Amino acid sequence: MRKAVIAGNWKMHMTCAEARAYAESFVPQMADLPDDRVVVLAPPFTAIAALSEALAGSDIKLSSQNVHWDNGGAYTGSISADMLKEHGVSYAIVGHSEPRKYHSESDEQINRRALSAQAADLIPIVCVGETDIQRSSRETERVIRRQVEQSLEDLDPSRMVVAYEPIWAIGTGKTCDAAEANRICGLIRSWVGYQDVVIQYGGSVKADNIDQLMAQSDIDGVLVGGASLDPISFARIAQYRVPVTI
Ligand code: PGA
């Protein structure tokens, strides 16, 4: 059975002091978390050490928001997998649409980042997704298939997470219809060719749509931006409830 991965991406939010205060509220709310899921927080690089200490003794995992493909060298502004592992990080988001857009990241670079993450025993969370123009011109499947083929090349599918994040749904309040998100996640699973690959949905996930999203057969978790910044709303998301079918 696939274990759900519920990840909060804080983006460029939270000082160390704010991260500690968040953990103080969030950790006790995760005390009775069902063991069919993993909860992950992705703070900015500067808050990783503080949050790592604040989460000690809990089951909450840490992720970075990116990772470099090289182990070290002349790469101003970058962070290597070993630097992250020193702080107990176990996941690394790569290929998020924001660095794809603002730093012109290519599928090839994203693939190298994901490979270096796996080589260091980090689990890459590889993001894919279409723009609104691509969706309205019916290019969604073609675009995502290309991203899947190029960004995931040579990765071990049993040690990675794919996040389907339609770009038009990120930070807009427009969540993708749950059935449509499920259809695309199912296609991604078939293109990856590994039944047990963990596939998340991301894009305006909130406390009031999480249960419906997690009830879908091919959605194995969520990548949450805005709603992960509030420890009460993210705790509700992590504590999603799926109706039992007999
Ligand atoms: P959002 O962001 O939940 O604020 O839409 C999702 C993401 O960027 O991963």
CATH number for the domain including 213? 3.20.20.70
Domain region containing 82: 4-238
One digit per residue, pLDDT tens: the chain, 246 residues?
799 999 999 999 999 999 999 999 999 999 999 999 999 999 999 999 999 999 999 999 999 999 999 999 999 999 999 999 999 999 999 999 998 889 989 999 999 999 999 999 999 999 999 999 999 999 999 999 999 999 999 999 999 999 999 999 999 988 899 999 999 999 999 999 999 999 999 999 999 999 999 999 999 999 999 999 999 999 999 999 997 766
What is the helix (H) or strand (E) element at residue 91, kind and residue range?
strand 91-94
**Three-state secondary structure call for residue 124:** strand
- From the CA of 11, give the closest atom in ligand 1: 8
10 CA to centre of ligand 1 in angstroms: 9
Helix (H), strand (E), coil (C) string for 158-171? HHCEEEECCHHHCC
| Residue 245 within a domain | no
For the CA atoms of the chain, what is the radius of gyration? 17
* Token code pair at residue 124: 């890459």
What is the C-alpha to C-alpha distance for residues 141 and 128, in angstroms, rounded to an integer? 11
Active site residue 13: no
Q: Using a 6 Å CB cutoff, which residues line ligand 1?
A: 9, 165, 170-171, 202-205, 223-227
Among protein residues, the one with the nearest Cα to ligand 1's atom 3 is 225
Task: Give just the sign of the alpha carbon dihedral 95, 135, 202, 141.
Answer: negative
| Residue 244 within a domain | no
Q: In the chain, which ranges are continuous DSSP H helix?
A: 16-29, 48-55, 81-85, 97-102, 107-119, 132-136, 140-151, 178-192, 210-214, 231-238
What is the C-alpha to C-alpha distance for residues 152 and 192, in angstroms, rounded to an integer? 8
* Token code pair at residue 85: 């592992």
169 CA to centre of ligand 1 in angstroms: 8
Q: Which of 68, 96, 105, 130 is catalytic?
A: 96
Among protein residues, the one with the nearest Cα to ligand 1's atom 6 is 225
**33 backbone φψ class: left, alpha, beta (φ>0; ψ -120 to 50):** beta
**Three-state secondary structure call for residue 83:** helix
Active site residue 103: no
- From the CA of 171, give the closest atom in ligand 1: 5
| Residue 212 within a domain | yes
Per the structure, how many domains does the chain have? 1
Strands 161-164 and 198-202: parallel
| Residue 99 within a domain | yes
| Residue 246 within a domain | no
* Token code pair at residue 44: 């900015």
| Residue 233 within a domain | yes
Q: At residue 230, what are phi and psi to the nearest 5 degrees?
A: -105, 120
